[in-house]
Amino acid sequence: MWALKKGYYRTFQAVFNVGARCLPWRKAEVVDGAGSIAKIPELLNREGKKKPMVVTDPGLMACGVAPSILKVLEDAKVPYSLYDKVEPNPTVNTVNAIQAQYLKEGCDSFVAIGGGSSMDAAKGAAARVVKPRKGVNQLGGLLKVRRRIPTFIAVPTTAGTGSETTIAALITDQDTHHKYAIMDLMLIPRYAVLDAELTVGLPPHITAATGMDALTHAVEAYLCWTYNTKESIRFAEEASVLIFHNLEKAYQNGKDIAAREAMMVASFKAGFAFTRAGVGNVHAIAHTLGGLYNTAHGLANAVILPIVLEDYGSAVYPKLAHLAELTGVARAGSQEERAKAFIAEIRAMNRRMGIPEGFDFIKEEDIPRMIAWAGKEANPIYPVPVVYSPERYRAVIEKIRIPVGCKEEV
């Protein structure tokens, strides 16, 4: 039975790969450089938009990042409606609240400020604006929106999620803790404003987790069994190199604007790569941690990435060996040796930036749900290099768990 399922998954992916090449893929138009947030009113005017819905989170309001962008709008006399209550893992209730406020206050566009959470919440609300009769649970999955959303300007304040260029919005059901992935080309933002100055004040631990999130996007996209294009492969490679050369610089010195700018570019390129090529089992498992335990997505990816890469074994050695060469991790030795050196360096980067090797909060009774959710998300859509059975998911999840009381000090 499992052999038949695997055959179906691979057949689905092969057929989808052909169809995907006929879809209208596009990139967000990039507006970058220090101080580029000043161009937001011009972008709205270019699109003929009069009143944006600004979506952000309490942390960005408190630290002054979001208010600095609101001032840009105010100085340009652009009226706006503000929703600033997005939580780290945005919920269905949040999406519905944003949609209701958007409609009530007569908005005509979105300006999403923040990391993946704010952008995901705004994307979910935008999807519901054009599909008001569909709930988030009905929009979850692939190509369920299929209508052009209002003009969407994404302003990332971290260098990691890549949401400013992706087709995805991840929304958690606050009652069941299940995470829905809404995936549709219509969710790709119209503009991505990459202003590295917004990331200068990021705490080191957030810089680390979001940077490793971007690396996960690049590596998983690169390893995908199919869907890749020459451009997505090139972007995944370039993003990996930028991250290996700049993430720890940004972590050690938050005011290193050159490193910050490089990480913004890396995040965008990694986001484009996985938008086109897909992700894999790292993400499928990470999303279950976000839904069940509210674990930050970047942190979950950072911890899980080397564990899954190691588990894939020889299936990924050729590609990881090439990434090891490109990043300068290892240029000599066999494919296996270079691939293992690449995985070892990811672990070392995590360690140097204070990221743990596992989590001590995963409950035994939750593992069956994690297996079911991860398997449903990954199969048949994700073109993973190794298709996981329920038994293999359990084995990997057990490697992620650290028994209570045995957590490493970092």
Report CA Rg, the chain: 20
- Residue 30 backbone dihedrals phi, psi, to 5 degrees: -90, 130
Q: What is the pLDDT of residue 86?
A: 97
Domain with 123 in it: 24-199
Burial of 3 (0-12, 13-18, 19+ CB in 10 A): exposed
pLDDT range class, residue 178, cuts 50, 70, 90: confident
Is there a contact between 119 and 90 (Cβ–Cβ < 8 Å)?
Answer: no
Boundary residue ending a domain (199, 226, 259): 199
The mean of the pLDDT values for the chain is 95
Shared-domain flag, residues 77 and 130: yes
- Residue 170 backbone dihedrals phi, psi, to 5 degrees: -105, 120
pLDDT range class, residue 409, cuts 50, 70, 90: very low
pLDDT higher than threshold 50 for residue 408:
no
What is d(CA 303, CA 355) in angstroms, rounded to the nearest whole number?
7
pLDDT higher than threshold 70 for residue 218:
yes
The answer to the question of residue 340 being in a domain is yes
Shared-domain flag, residues 213 and 150: no
pLDDT range class, residue 100, cuts 50, 70, 90: very high
Shared-domain flag, residues 228 and 273: yes
Shared-domain flag, residues 211 and 322: yes
Burial of 108 (0-12, 13-18, 19+ CB in 10 A): middle
Beta-bridge partners for 401? 359
The answer to the question of residue 371 being in a domain is yes
The answer to the question of residue 15 being in a domain is no
- Residue 107 makes CB contacts below 8 A (sequence gap 6+) with 51, 52, 53, 80, 81, 101, 150
Tokens of 234: 């090139």
Task: Render pLDDT for 342-390 as a digit per residue (tens, 0 to 9).
Answer: 999 999 999 999 999 999 999 999 999 999 999 999 999 999 999 999 9
Shared-domain flag, residues 126 and 40: yes
* 200 CB neighbour count, 10 Å cutoff: 15
Boundary residue ending a domain (155, 173, 199): 199
What is d(CA 118, CA 158) in angstroms, rounded to the nearest whole number?
11
The answer to the question of residue 191 being in a domain is yes
Shared-domain flag, residues 155 and 234: no
The answer to the question of residue 4 being in a domain is no
What is d(CA 385, CA 318) in angstroms, rounded to the nearest whole number?
12
Is there a contact between 28 and 185 (Cβ–Cβ < 8 Å)?
Answer: no
pLDDT higher than threshold 80 for residue 403:
no
Q: How large is the average pLDDT for residues 382-406?
A: 89
The answer to the question of residue 12 being in a domain is no
What is d(CA 22, CA 395) in angstroms, rounded to the nearest whole number?
38
Is there a contact between 126 and 108 (Cβ–Cβ < 8 Å)?
Answer: no
- CATH code of residue 79: 3.40.50.1970
pLDDT higher than threshold 60 for residue 407:
no
Shared-domain flag, residues 247 and 212: yes
Task: Render pLDDT for 104-141 as a digit per residue (tens, 0 to 9).
Answer: 999 999 999 998 899 999 999 999 999 999 999 999 98
Q: What is the pLDDT of residue 410?
A: 35
Shared-domain flag, residues 230 and 244: yes
* b/e burial code for range 258-267 (CB count within 10 A of at least 16 → b): ebbbbbbbbb
- CATH code of residue 344: 1.20.1090.10
The answer to the question of residue 19 being in a domain is no
What is d(CA 407, CA 166) in angstroms, rounded to the nearest whole number?
34
Task: Render pLDDT for 57-77 as a digit per residue (tens, 0 to 9).
Answer: 999 999 999 999 999 999 999
Shared-domain flag, residues 72 and 123: yes
Is there a contact between 129 and 102 (Cβ–Cβ < 8 Å)?
Answer: yes
In a 3-state reduction of DSSP, which class is residue 194?
A: strand
Task: Render pLDDT for 220-256 as a digit per residue (tens, 0 to 9).
Answer: 999 998 999 999 999 999 999 999 999 999 999 999 9
Task: Render pLDDT for 12-49 as a digit per residue (tens, 0 to 9).
Answer: 999 999 999 999 899 999 999 889 999 999 999 999 99
Shared-domain flag, residues 247 and 187: no
The answer to the question of residue 9 being in a domain is no
Shared-domain flag, residues 219 and 137: no
Q: What is the pLDDT of residue 283?
A: 97
Task: Render pLDDT for 262-286 as a digit per residue (tens, 0 to 9).
Answer: 999 999 999 999 999 999 999 999 9
Boundary residue ending a domain (199, 227, 255): 199
Shared-domain flag, residues 169 and 83: yes
Count of domains observed in the chain: 2
In a 3-state reduction of DSSP, which class is residue 157?
A: coil
